[in-house]
A and B are shown apart, each in its own frame.
Chain A
Amino acid sequence: MVGSTTRVLVLLVLGGAAGAASFAQQSAEPTTCSLAFDSTVLNAQTNRGEFRGIRLTCEGVAVAADEAEASEVVPQEGQWEMHGNVRIESAAALITADSATLGFAASNLLFGELSGVPAVLEDRGTNTDGTLRARATAQTIYYDNVAQTARLRMREGNSLVGPNFEMRGCGDISYDLATGESESIATCGDPLEIRYLRPSDGAQEPGQAPPNDE
């Protein structure tokens, strides 16, 4: 189906409204981001700083990386470049990547654009037993901390695995972290492939990496 665009709406089964309510509760008291680091080298004139072992704690979100660069002493209004073992973690989700660009406004995290081989999203939703509601791998993940969405750019070998389905192919997926809903658009000509799994299929757990993943 070369040249065509396939739009797919997938509603995951677990945790929808309850997840949204849970996040709203976390967001009741806005705070500014704080940071901790093992070491930093700042240029006093350019205000450019290189951080090692950086940890950011923002409203309901924790960010960590081996290294970071920024033109601010603490996150305020600028962009922070992160490298090495990048993690963005909220109560419900964990995104890991090799590198990321984070954007801040009023000292709060607005977004994170993460890249990796692959970048990984693990969504626990409201699962309290540590199991995942969904697990996705992608070339890039654009995390919107305000809208609580993750936009995944999937390439060959990447996948989105839910409790009862598996999506593979080349496309962009908009994933709602509050509700677990996702909307997908194939972008490489071929349609995204979705396989619904029955329990008798020996369905793959979302927490397991798909066999052909990058």
Chain B
Amino acid sequence: MTPLRNGALLGVLAVFAVATWLLGRQETPVIAASEASAPRTFYMRDTAILGTDPSGYVSYRVFAKMVEQPGQDQPLVLNEVRVEYETREKIPWLVTAVRATLNEDETMQLNDARLTSLPEPGADALVIETDELDFDAETYLARSQHPVVLSRGDARVEAQSFRADLKQDQITLENGHGRLDH
């Protein structure tokens, strides 16, 4: 073997070793959001997808128990999803869902979704639940044309649709009714 071929082989072996080591790790792998839409099929457990702001700083993290791409050019499918913003973003909300699809433009469709406010100590959290939710973590906007249930403490309100601006802490509900839920 020539030194050049030996070097190439070592390089291949090194890449293989690193890949094997990465696959063997139980820690959370991290992929950049921009890579998430790469046209390949894969399957990952305990994953964090990072969303960055225009300056390149991490703005939010999408944690998922499982991420898979069913086929090329298919959106990513995430299970047991949790979206958390970086502290400096000052978004006092936690977004969770049983399942989500992540589109190329990084918007998400969440199923069995829940938005939970992170209030000041001693205050009741505001919780919004719906079967289907469109969520754009980059613009902090969530909306649903499906029935939603909003609750805070014993108070419970049901509405036919809603939208939320998590940056402004503003929730808009349409055609709703509610009462104390004893």
Contact = CB atoms under 8 A, between A and B. Distances in A.
A24 B34 CA distance: 68
A42 B126 CA distance: 10
The dominant DSSP class at the B interface is strand
Interface in A76-99: 76
Contacts of A35: 157, 177-179
Contact of B180 (A39, A45, A74): A74
Contacts of A146: none
Nearest to A39: B174
B172 A37 contact: no
A44 B126 contact: yes
B100 interface: no
A47 B125 CA distance: 10
Interface string A94-138: 000000000000010000000000000000000000000000000
B31 to A, nearest CB: 31
A47 B157 CA distance: 14
Nearest to B126: A44
Interface in A1-43: 32-43
Interface stretch (B14-22, B40-48, B55-63, B148-156): B148-156
B176 A40 contact: yes
Interface of A: 32-47, 72-74, 76, 107
List 9 A-B pairs, minimum CB-CB distance, nearest first. A34-B179, A36-B177, A73-B155, A42-B171, A44-B169, A74-B155, A74-B178, A44-B117, A107-B180
Interface of B: 92-93, 117, 119-120, 126, 150, 152, 154-157, 159, 169-180, 182
